[in-house]
Amino acid sequence: MEHANAILLCILISVISLPSPLTSLPTCEFPAIFNLGDSNSDTGGLSAAFGQAPYPHGITHFHHPAGRFCDGRLLIDFIAEDLGLPYLSAYLDSMASNFSHGANFATAGSTIRPQNTTMTQSGVSPISLDVQYVQYSDFRRRSPVLRKQGGVFEQLLPLEDSFSRALYTFDIGQNDLTAGYKLNMTTDQVKAYVPDVLHQFSNVVKGIYAQGGRSFWVHNTGPVGCLPYSLDRFLITAAQVNKYGCATPFNEVAQFFNRRLKDVVFQLRKDLPLAAITYVDVYSLKYSLFTQAKKLGFKDPLRACCGHGGKYNFNSKRRCGSKIIENGKEIVIANACKDPSVKVIWDGIHFTEAANRWMFKQLVNGSFSDPPIPLKMACHRTTDSLYYY
């Protein structure tokens, strides 16, 4: 009996002293972030190539247009802040860019698959994920060569080992879904091409891994059916609108995409044994902002802050920052609302800084991630964490 108790005590002690997941794993100390994506994470790419997102974009935090389709910071900015890194310069921005701690290849309107329509036809950026990958690969290959030349290059480009230690972040897919609807496809037709879209996404992750990338952070796609832009742009019947005012077919297709994306991430973990891949359920957070706006301190979530009238304060011909010339003077006719900090949607398509900040707070500790580990732990593989959990 005495003996049995001693054994039990030993077992108890060893169970209690097992390291807890958060204290046993070191934080990752990511030296850089490389981001690929669309407007959800564009910090100046589209602006550099096709013209600056106009005032009043940027009014909240930067106090001037800052290459973002937002009044202030995006999720990627909050991620950079949290990791103690500077905001990411857009790869395409040749003015005052500094890539020593990462680069941003995202552009607003980007899709994963290259489209057969031009930007003027469909609003889709020609800098699709395959192009972003080519740009990344060039950056990856040339950085060490240029850095060796010393001088300013040493200060502006990442250290060689930053590429393997960096966090690679992705937020893309939403525009692949709307691209089909713009071609008048049915929801079934859109769903039918989702596997091809995700196959191309998967190839890009594999390509980055082959060049030494190890830590990946993948945002799923949002409830596109709740955006004023979709509600205004696409034909929907009353029966397709749910009690929150969102168009269910578009949300269902986003959820369909997300389930498949999760499967792809699962497969990538098998195919890339040294990769740590975190899947982040941004969809649920964005959806909560629409369904529980009041509880979360927001008002009138389907109405854009910056726009020009109509049910959603969104007019696709007079978007946020639109100007007219009257008596020889430029006048902004789609201006910002009084208090962007209580708004969910900024310009009819993108979330406000306040919404982004709230989402970041929820996701940073890993409660919306698979595996459920905090941002600062995202270099640890699932198998590492399973061992401890």
Ligand X SMILES: *[C@@H]1O[C@H](CO)[C@@H](O)[C@H](O)[C@H]1NC(C)=O
Q: Which residues are catalytic?
A: 39, 347, 350
Encoded one letter per residue, x for contact with ligand X by CB under 6 A and - for no contact, window 125-164 reads: ---------------------------x--xx--------
CA distances from 40 to 3, 46, 77, 210, 267 (A): 62, 12, 11, 26, 25
Binding of ligand X by 184 (CB under 6 A)? yes
Spatial distance between the Cα atoms of 110 and 129, rounded to a whole number of angstroms: 7
Least distance (Å) from ligand X to the CB of residue 70? Answer: 21
Smaller CB separation from ligand X, 145 or 183: 183
Interaction between residue 361 and ligand X (CB under 6 A): yes
Closest CA to 175 of 250, 231, 241, 247: 250
49 binds ligand X (CB under 6 A): no
Shortest Å, Cβ 348 to ligand X = 21
Cα dihedral 41, 47, 52, 54 in deg (nearest 10): -30
User: Can residue 367 be called a binding residue for ligand X (CB under 6 A)?
Assistant: yes
Q: Which amino acid is at 165?
A: R
Stretch binding ligand X (CB under 6 A), from 61-69, 108-116, 256-264, 267-275: 108-116
How many residues are recorded in the chain?
A: 389
Q: Which stretch binds ligand X (CB under 6 A): 97-105, 295-303, 311-319, 328-336?
A: 97-105
Strands 276-280 and 369-370 turn out to be antiparallel
Q: How far is CA 370 from the centre of its chain?
A: 16
Question: Among 256, 362, 384, 388, which residue sits at the site for ligand X (rule: CB under 6 A)?
Answer: 362
Distance, CA of 334 to CA of 349 (rounded, Å): 14
Smallest separation, CB 13 to ligand X (Å) = 26
98 binds ligand X (CB under 6 A): yes
Which of residues 223 and 366 has its CB atom nearest to ligand X in the complex? 366
For the CB of residue 365, give the shortest distance to ligand X in the complex, in Å.
4
Using alpha carbons, select from 251, 216, 211, 217 the residue that is nearest to residue 234: 251
Q: Which residues contact 248 (CB under 8 A, 6 or more apart)?
A: 225, 240, 241, 242
Residues 164-183 that bind ligand X (CB under 6 A): 183
267 forms part of the interface with ligand X (CB under 6 A): no
Q: Which of 68, 113, 147, 319 binds ligand X (CB under 6 A)?
A: 113
Give 360's DSSP letter: H
| Rounded least distance, CB 94 to ligand X, Å | 14
The total of other beta-carbon atoms located within 10 Å of residue 342's CB is: 16
CB nearer to ligand X: pick between 101 and 376: 101
# of chain residues touching ligand X (CB under 6 A): 16
Q: How far is the CB of 122 from ligand X (least distance, A)?
A: 8
If one asks whether residue 115 binds ligand X (CB under 6 A), the answer comes out as yes
Residue 176 beta carbon to ligand X: minimum distance, rounded to whole angstroms: 8
Comparing CB distances to ligand X, the nearer of 88 and 334 is: 88
The whole-angstrom separation of Cα 290 and Cα 272 is 36
Which member of 26, 86, 195, 309 binds ligand X (CB under 6 A)?
86
C-alpha 371: how far from chain center: 18
Burial bucket for residue 245 (CB in 10 Å: 0-12, 13-18, 19+): middle
Nearer to ligand X, 166 or 275 (CB): 166
Q: How far is CA 109 from the centre of its chain?
A: 12
Shortest gap between Cβ of 352 and ligand X (angstroms)? 18
Angle between helices 282-291 and 248-271 (to 10 degrees): 160
Q: Identify the CA nearest to 110 among candidates 242, 225, 200.
A: 200
Per CB under 6 A, 116 contacts ligand X: yes
Nearer to ligand X, 55 or 193 (CB): 193
**Of 59 and 253, which has the nearer Cβ to ligand X?**
253
State the CB neighbour count (10 A cutoff) for residue 64.
Answer: 10
Residue 365 binding ligand X, by CB under 6 A: yes
Q: Does residue 322 belong to the site contacting ligand X (CB under 6 A)?
A: no
Q: Which residues bind ligand X (CB under 6 A)?
A: 86, 98, 100-101, 113, 115-116, 152, 155-156, 183-184, 361-362, 365, 367
